[in-house]
Structure 1
Amino acid sequence: MPSILGGLKGSDESWCKIEPVIQVPASTDEIVTTVSSAVKDALLGKPLPLLSDPDHKKAKDLLNGIHDKEVAALFGFKATALSNAPFRLVQRVTAGSNPDHVQTGQSFIALSYCWLSNDWKKKESSNSARKSKVPISLALFEAILAERASENEGIWIDQLCINQTDKQEKAVAIGAMDVVYQRARLVTVVLEDIVLDPLDESTLRELMETYDRGETWVHSEKMSSNRRLTILTWKILSARWFTRAWCGHEFLVSNNHIFLLQTESNKVVKMTTAFLLDLILLQSAYLSAVEQDEFAALSFAHGRQRRMLHRYASPQFQTKWSVGKQQDPLYTPSFTRAFSEVFGFDATYVVDKMSIVLNVLQCGLYFKGPNSMTYDQCCYIFHHIALSARDPTIFSTSGKRLEQAAWMRSPLDSDVNEPLFMGSKHLRLEHAPPFSNDGIELDLVVLATSRTINRPTSRHRVWANRVLKRCIEHADAFPAKFAFLIHGLRLESDDDDMAEDGPYTQREFYLDLLACLHECPGGIDWLVRSWEQWSPHLFDEASEQRIRRAMSLEYDEGTQLTPTQADDMVDIIYLLDDIHFPLQVADGRPAWLATPGTGNGSTDAIVFLCPPGNRTGPEYSVVIPRMLLSATYNMMRRLWYLSPTVIPGPQAQAGVNQKHGWEVVGKSCFFGQVEPGELKSTGAILQAQMICR
C-alpha cells in the first residue's frame, strides 16, 4: 500500500505573507503609456524563439497545409501579431505628471484577474477615497505595486493596455498575449471573490511560523490544523479565476506567479504557487488519513480546478515554456487535448478560446477570424489545423458529430488519456489523409466483427463478482479517497447477469473488466505493466507480487482471507481506481480479442470497450486505421467500430450509382501485451475506405 506523506517543510520558493493594506499615497494617479519599439523589443525579447526561422517555417507549413482557403484565411502569423500589437503599461505617477516624461523599467509585471460582470462587482477599497481606472480593488493593486523591482516597473493589464474598441488591435494583441505573460518578470494572480476569515488567517500563520522556524509540519501531529487548511484550500480553489479560460492560459504560459487575496480584517495575503501546492499536498495528506471524506461534495465541485493547478504548476510541465526550447520535428503536441482542455473552461466569448488554444500550442499562428463563432464552427476549423499539423490525436475524438462534416467529432476529455507528465507528445503522422466535408479516406486493418470478439464468460464473471464482494467486506481498511468508489459498489446490484437493455452500472463495468483481464491471455501481465506506467511512484516489486497474488486467488464463498490476502485487496482497489482513468464506464463494455503472441505458437490478447448490444444486434467491423498502428498512439481511441453506410450526396438521394462508405459507431482505446504493429498481420487490409459518418 502506498505510504502517506509524513510532513512538509518550507523552502525559498514556498512562502506566504499576511500584510496590512497599504494606503494609497496622496496626489498620485495611474496612467497608461505606450512604450517605444526599442523598449518593447527589450521587454518582450527580439528575436523571440517563436519568430526564429525554424518556428516561422513551421507556422508557414501549418498554414499552407490547410487546403480549405476560407479556413486558412482565418489565421495569421504570430510574428505579424507581435509586430503589430502596441505594447502599453500602467504606471503609478504623481498626479499631473507629463506621460511623455515617464520612464519605463527593464521589466514588467502582468496582472491575471477576472473581469467584472453584472453578478460580480469589484470590492470597494478602504485604503483610498479617490477613484481609479484600475479594474481591481486599490488595496490589491497597491499590494502589487509593492512587488515592483523599481518604481519605474510598469504593470500590464489587458483591460487598460489593449484598446477594447479597436477590433483589429484586439485580434493582434490577443494573438501576442502568450508572449506578454511568458516574458513578464512576475504574474500576479488576484482572487478578488475570496475573502479569508480570522480562522483561515490564524491557521495560515501557524503553518507560516512552522516554515519560518525551519521545522517540518508533521501531519499526524497537526490533524486539526490540517482539517482547517483543507477547508481553506477548497475555499481558494472555489475562486472564479480557476474556471476562466483566459486565466488558465495566463497561468499556463508563465513561470513566476504569486496569488493575492484579502481578509476580513483588511489585510492582504500573498502566497507563491509553491505554497498553494503545499496546501494541496496537506489537503491530500489529511484526506488520506481520515476514515470518511466529509468534503466529497467540494471535491466533486472543485476537483477539476485542483487538478489543473497541480498539473500546470508542476516543474515537469513548466519546462515546456522555457525560452529557446525547441520541439522535436518528428513529434507534435496533442492539438485535440489542448482544444478539449481550453474549451472546458469558461469564457464570455466562445471564439476567444480558439485564440487561447493557438497560444497554448505555440504553433506560430494567431486567430484573426470573426468575433463570434459557435462551438461547432470552432471545432470544425480546428480539425483543419490539427490535420495540417499531422496530429494523430484528432482521430481519437468521439463526441457529437459536427454539422459541417458528419465524420468529424467534437473531442471529449477522455479522448486522449495520458499520464500527468508525459507532455502530450505524439509521433507526427507521415501524411494527412485526403478528406472533404463528405468524408475522410483511410486504409483500415480489420481485426474482427461484433460476432467474433470475446465478452467475459459467466465463470470469470462469477470470480470477478466475488472479488468485488470481498472489496466491500474489507472497505474499512481502504483509504478515504476510495469511499466514493466503494459506495457505488455497495449501492448496485450483486446480480451476476448483465441486462443488455438496462443501465450499465459502475459495478458491472468493473466486474466485466476484471473478468476479461482474468480470462484473456496475458491479462494479468498487462495489469502489472499498466499500473507501473500510470502510477510509477506507487509501483515496486512488492506491488507486482501483491497484484499477481490477488488476481490468482479464487475467493471461494465461505473461506476466510488471510491477513496477507486481505492486504492484497487494497491493491485491487488501487487498480480499479487507476483503470477507471483510461477506460470510462460510458465508453462501452469490456471485451477482448486473441492475437498471435510474441513466442512461437503463443497467444496474447487485447482488451477494449465495445459498443453496447449483444451478438444478435446489428453487426459491425472492428478495425484500426493503418496509420495509427504505432505504439506511441497507445493513449488514443484508435480501435474503431464501423458499420456500412451510403456516402451522402445527390447520387445517394437519387438511389442510383450509390457509393458506399463507413459510419463510426464507436471508438475505444485498447491494451495488451501485443505490439500494435503486429496487428497488421492479424487481419485483412482494406485500402482507401471512405469514413463518412
Structure 2
Amino acid sequence: MERVGRRDVASTPPPLLYNSDWMKSNTCVGFAQSTRCFCATTRYISYILFWGRNMVALHTTPSMAVPDHPIHYTAVEQDCEFYHFDEDELDFSDLHVRYIEPAVTQQLLFPAHSRRQHSQTSSPLSVSNNNNDDDDDAEILLSTLAHLAPSVAKDFTPKPLFPSALPFKLIHDIYDPMGQDDSYIAMSYSWKKSNRATRKTVSPLGDLPFGWVRTVEQFPLPTSKGMFMAVLCERSEGEGLWFDQVCVDQENEVEKAGAIAAMGDVYRNARSVVVVLDDVEVERHEAGALQWWMRQWEGFQDHDVSIWRRERQEMNTALMEGDLVVLSFVERMLDSEWFRSAWCHLEMRMGRNRVFLCPIAGSENGISSIIRFTGSLLLRMLMLADKAASLAPSQRAQIQSLLRILRAPSAIRGKSSDNVGPSPGHCTEQNTSLSAHATSIVAATTDVFKLITRGDPRMPEHLRRLDANRDKISIALNITNTPLALISASPFQRPSIEDECLRKLLLLGLASRDPFALCTTGPPLCLHDGSMSWLSRPVPPVTSVTSLAPPPLARHDVENITQGSDGRAEYVQLDFTFLDLPHRSRPNPAFMSHVQRARDTIDICIQYRIRSHSTLWSNILSYTSQANPHHPRVPTLRNIFIQTLACAFECGLQWLLDIAAQQQGDPTPSSLNTIPAQLSLFQQSIQSLFTPSLPITHFLTTQHPSQIIPSLSFLLTILGQTISSGIPWASGANECSHGPLIVTLPSPQAQSPSNHAPPNKKAVLFAPFVYSKTLLVAVPKALSSSGYNDLSRAWVLTPKSLHTGGFEAVGGRGNAVRWVLRSKSVLAGERQFLEGLDRREGDESEGSGGRKVVHWIYGPGREDGGVF
C-alpha cells in the first residue's frame, strides 16, 4: 500500500501519472477516494496525488530545499510532509453545513453517556436519565458553592443542561451519505477580522430567464484556500469537519452559549485536531532541514532502549548546537498568534491527535506550498529547544508548559497519540505531573489568564474586554471538565473585570476541594468596589509546586469554610492551627552566635566561589564578579543566606537532613537530583559545622577540600531551594521584605514560661519583616495533612485592630477574631514536625468559658497600606 494524498490505495501505478481519464474511472483516487470529493476535480488532484515510483528520491541533507515536484509518501504516516496546491483551481462550492442528528451527536460528543445508555434497558426512563451522574456532580458542586459564596453560585448553571439541545453541525461534501458520522476532525485556528464575512455570489444579469438572479452564500474560509484544502485532506472518507466560525451560529446567543460550554467535548472527541499556523511562514531551507532532522530521529527507532536514549540525547545536543535552523523555527512558531490564544490553548490541550500546518514562503505561479507535521515532531523540537542556553526565561517557561501538555495523556483527554515512546529525559515524570494537575481549576486558571481572548467583536471596546474575561472562565471550565457552565451576562452581576473572574474561579476551585485555592501567593485581588479580597491571584508556580497531585480537601473541611462580608470588605471564616513562635516565648541567647557562624560560612563560600545548583546563589557569584563588584542585590542576597543558615543551625542538623531528603525525593526534575553526594556522606562531612562547640576552622582543617567543596555546595543548594520556595515572589516580595522565621507546634502548656519546645519539631517559613512584632502564623486545618507539605499553607496573620488585638463581638456568634492576611509561605519542616501537624486533633478555637472562637480573615485593606 502507498499513501495517495493522505489515503491508502492500491500500489499499482496509473498508466500516466496525471491522466485525468484514469482518475475518473477509479473511485479510490485522491484524498477522499472519490473524484467528486469537496468538488475536487482533476484540475487540482495532480497537485496532491503522489506516486513514489515515478518520483526522484529526496536527498537527506540539512541544506536541502523543498522540492517543487510531488513528494514520496509511504504507507506509514510521516511526521513531516508537504502539500502543493494551485489555489486558482480550488473549488469548495460543493461543501455545505449539515446538521447532525441528536442521537449521532450524543455518540460523537458524549461517548461515555452513549455507552451507559446502551448498557441500560431500552425503557424511556433509561434514555432520559442517562446524564444522572453528571447532573448529581453538578448539583453537589453548585450546592457547595452556594454554601461558600451564594453570589458566585448564581453565575453558574449545571453544564449537562446544554448538550441535550446543542445543534451540532459538520461541514460535509454534498455527496457524503447522511447519518453515517462515526468520527470527525476539528480545525484549530486564530480568528482574524478579515475572515469573518460571509461571501455572496450573484449570478450575472441575463444568465437566468425572466430576469431572475441567483444568490449563493458561501461560508467564509478561516484561512487561505491552500491551507483550507490541506485541512480537508486530513479527513477520512465520509468524515466531517468542524470549526466554530461556520458550525456555530454566531448570531444565536443560545446556540453560542451551548457551544462554548461543550467546546472541550468537541475537541476532546475529535479524531484529529488540525492546527493552522497561517501566520508562521516556513522558509524553504527550514522545511528541508526539518525533514532531514526528523529522519535522523527515525534512525534510532530500532535500537535498544538504553542505547536509544543515550545516543539520541548525545545527538540532541549536537544538533541544537550545530544547526540553529530548528531553534530559529521554534522561536518564530511560538510567536504565532495561535500560541498566545486562550481558546487555541484549550483546543490543543483537549486534542488527542494533533497535526500542524504552516505555509511555505516563496510560492510562485499561484502554487501554495504547505508543510505538515505532527504533534510528535513538535514535541521533539520543543525537547531540543528546551536545552538551548540562548532561550529567554519567558520562552523557556512557554516551552516547558507546552511539553507538559504534549507529553502525556491526561485523565481528561484520554489517550494521546502525540507521545513518542521512551523519550529521553523524564517523560514518565512529566506524565505524572500533567495528570496530577489536569483537574485543578486553579492550575488551569493560571495557564488561561496568561493568554489572550478577544471577546465579541460586535461589542464596544469596554464591554468586549469584559466579555473576553468571561471567555477565560469558560475555557478554564472546559479544560478541567467541570460540570458547570457560565450563565449569560446580566446587568445585575458583578462586572467581569479580571480580578472578579479570578475570584469566581478560585471560589469554584475551593468548592470543588482544590487545595491550591487556599495556597495562591500572588497579589491580593482588587474587587470591583475597590476592596481587597482575602483571595490571592494564582501564579505559575502552582502548576509545578509538586509533581504529585495533592489530595483533595476533605469534604467536611470545605463545608466548614464560609465567606461573608461586613459591608466594607469580604472575609473567609475557617479553622486554624496556630503555631508557636519560640523567639518570643523562649528566645535562645545563643542565636546571635549562630548568626555569626553563618556569616563566616557564607563569606568563606563567596571568597572561594563555591558553586551550587541554586539560582539565587549563582546570582551572588555573578554579582560579586569583577564585572559587578558593587551590585545592589549582593548585600541582600548574602543576608538572606546568612539568616537561613542561622535558622538551620538553630533547628539542628536533623532538620537540614530532613529538608534535603524532602527536596531530593521530589520526582519532578530538580537540580537536587543531579547532586552526586549522598546524604550519609554529607552528614558526616557537615557534622562539625553544626557543632557549636567546635570552631569553624575545625570543619575547614580536618577534611580534604574534595570533601569540603561538595558539602558546602550541597548546603548552599538546600538553602537556596528553601529560600526560593518560601518567599512569595509573585506577590512582590523579595529578600529585602521577607526573612526566615522558626515556628514550632503548639503545646497545651504553651503559656508556661518554663516549658521548652520539644526537640525535632521545628519548621522554617518566610514572613514579612514589617509585621515582625505583631504577626502570628497559622495553618488552616483543612491543609494540615502531610499531602500538602509542598504548598504555601502557612498563613501570616496580623490583628485587624491593634487596639483590641483583633477580638471583636459578633452578634449571636460569641467571640470573633478578625485577622488580616499578610503573606503565605511553604513550611520547611522536619519530619517529626510535619507528622505532628498532620496528627493534630481537637478544636483549638475556643475562648474563655469554652465559647467558640470564630476567625474572620480579611485581605489587606486601604487602611493597612494595601500590600500583601
Q: Same fold (TM over 0.5)?
A: yes
Q: 2:374 corresponds to which residue?
A: 272
Show the 5 A alignment for 1:425-574. Answer: 425-431=551-557, 432=559, 433-438=561-566, 439-449=571-581, 452=584, 457-470=595-608, 472=609, 486-487=618-619, 489-491=621-623, 505=636, 508-517=639-648, 519-521=650-652, 522-535=655-668, 539=673, 542-545=676-679, 548=683, 562-563=705-706, 565-566=708-709
Identity among equivalent positions (%) equals 22
Aligned length: 630
2:479 maps to which of 327, 342, 360:
360
**Code of the aligned partner of 1:434:** T
CA distance in 2, matches of 1:170, 1:605: 55
Q: 2:441 corresponds to which residue?
A: 335
CA distance in 2, matches of 1:676, 1:14: 52
Q: 1:688 corresponds to which residue?
A: 854
**Per-residue deviation at 1:343?**
1.6
Q: 1:5 corresponds to which residue?
A: none
**Code of the aligned partner of 1:247:** C
2:328 maps to which of 218, 231, 238:
231
Bigger mean CA offset, 427-436 vs 628-637: 427-436
Q: 2:354 corresponds to which residue?
A: 257
SS at match of 1:613: helix
Query: Does the CA-based 8 Å contact 2:520-2:539 persist in structure 1?
Result: no
**Code of the aligned partner of 1:676:** L
Aligned CA-pair RMSD:
4.3
**Per-residue deviation at 1:664?**
1.1
CA distance in 1, matches of 2:549, 2:821: 29
Query: Does the CA-based 8 Å contact 2:80-2:374 persist in structure 1?
Result: no
Q: 1:135 corresponds to which residue?
A: 222
TM-score (norm 2): 0.64
**Per-residue deviation at 1:365?**
0.8
**Per-residue deviation at 1:212?**
4.4
Show the 5 A alignment for 1:284-299. Answer: 284-285=386-387, 287=388, 293=389, 295-296=390-391, 299=392
- Do residues 207 (structure 1) and 293 (structure 2) align? yes
Q: 2:80 corresponds to which residue?
A: 17
CA distance in 1, matches of 2:611, 2:326: 30
Q: 2:277 corresponds to which residue?
A: 191
- Do residues 640 (structure 1) and 792 (structure 2) align? no
**Code of the aligned partner of 1:40:** T
SS at match of 2:535: coil
1:621 maps to which of 776, 786, 792:
776
Show the 5 A alignment for 1:371-390. Answer: 373-390=496-513
Show the 5 A alignment for 1:409-420. Answer: 409-413=535-539, 416=542, 418=544
* Residues 134/488 of structure 1: CA separation in 2 closer, same or farther (3 Å cut): farther
Give the gaps of 5 or more residues in structure 2.
Answer: 1-74, 117-129, 198-216, 302-310, 364-368, 416-436, 455-467, 690-695, 747-756, 847-852, 860-868
Alpha-carbon displacement from aligned partner over 1:89-148 (angstroms, at most 9, x marks no partner): 123x4xxx599x767642111111111158x999xxxxxxx9971112222221121111
**Per-residue deviation at 1:79?**
1.2
Q: 1:672 corresponds to which residue?
A: 829
Query: Does the CA-based 8 Å contact 1:595-1:682 persist in structure 2?
Result: no
Query: Does the CA-based 8 Å contact 1:418-1:635 persist in structure 2?
Result: no
Show the 5 A alignment for 1:55-94. Answer: 55-65=134-144, 66-67=146-147, 68-91=149-172, 93=173
Q: 1:127 corresponds to which residue?
A: none
* Residues 553/21 of structure 1: CA separation in 2 closer, same or farther (3 Å cut): farther
CA distance in 1, matches of 2:765, 2:844: 20
Q: 1:305 corresponds to which residue?
A: 398
* Residues 564/89 of structure 1: CA separation in 2 closer, same or farther (3 Å cut): farther
**Per-residue deviation at 1:300?**
2.4
* Residues 64/605 of structure 1: CA separation in 2 closer, same or farther (3 Å cut): same
Q: 2:762 corresponds to which residue?
A: 605
CA distance in 1, matches of 2:79, 2:552: 39
Show the 5 A alignment for 1:564-603. Answer: 565-566=708-709, 579=722, 582-584=725-727, 585=729, 586=733, 589-593=738-742, 595=744, 602-603=759-760
Bigger mean CA offset, 195-204 vs 212-221: 212-221
TM-score (norm 1): 0.79
Q: 2:231 corresponds to which residue?
A: 144
Q: 1:408 corresponds to which residue?
A: 534
**Per-residue deviation at 1:449?**
4.7
* Residues 614/665 of structure 1: CA separation in 2 closer, same or farther (3 Å cut): closer
**Per-residue deviation at 1:610?**
0.9
SS at match of 2:469: coil
Greater C-alpha Rg: 2
Bigger mean CA offset, 343-352 vs 379-388: 379-388
Q: 1:369 corresponds to which residue?
A: 488
**Per-residue deviation at 1:567?**
5.6
SS at match of 1:622: strand
Alpha-carbon displacement from aligned partner over 1:505-555 (angstroms, at most 9, x marks no partner): 555545544554455231232123212215468738944347557866869
SS at match of 2:324: helix
Query: Does the CA-based 8 Å contact 2:562-2:572 persist in structure 1?
Result: yes
CA distance in 2, matches of 1:26, 1:681: 73
**Per-residue deviation at 1:258?**
1.5
**Per-residue deviation at 1:489?**
4.1
**Per-residue deviation at 1:458?**
3.4
**Per-residue deviation at 1:434?**
2.6
* Residues 20/535 of structure 1: CA separation in 2 closer, same or farther (3 Å cut): closer
SS at match of 2:281: strand
**Per-residue deviation at 1:382?**
2.9
Q: 2:3 corresponds to which residue?
A: none
Q: 1:106 corresponds to which residue?
A: 182
Bigger mean CA offset, 446-455 vs 180-189: 446-455
**Per-residue deviation at 1:310?**
0.7
**Code of the aligned partner of 1:610:** A
Query: Does the CA-based 8 Å contact 1:71-1:381 persist in structure 2?
Result: yes
SS at match of 2:241: strand
**Per-residue deviation at 1:575?**
5.1
- Do residues 43 (structure 1) and 91 (structure 2) align? no
2:414 maps to which of 316, 322, 326:
322
Q: 2:305 corresponds to which residue?
A: none
Q: 2:21 corresponds to which residue?
A: none
Query: Does the CA-based 8 Å contact 1:397-1:410 persist in structure 2?
Result: yes
Query: Does the CA-based 8 Å contact 2:283-2:360 persist in structure 1?
Result: yes
* Residues 681/370 of structure 1: CA separation in 2 closer, same or farther (3 Å cut): closer
Alpha-carbon displacement from aligned partner over 1:626-650 (angstroms, at most 9, x marks no partner): 2321112223222111111259xxx
Query: Does the CA-based 8 Å contact 1:245-1:353 persist in structure 2?
Result: yes
* Residues 213/269 of structure 1: CA separation in 2 closer, same or farther (3 Å cut): same
* Residues 265/513 of structure 1: CA separation in 2 closer, same or farther (3 Å cut): farther
SS at match of 2:372: strand
Give the gaps of 5 or more residues in structure 1.
Answer: 1-11, 123-129, 288-292, 324-330
**Code of the aligned partner of 1:544:** Q
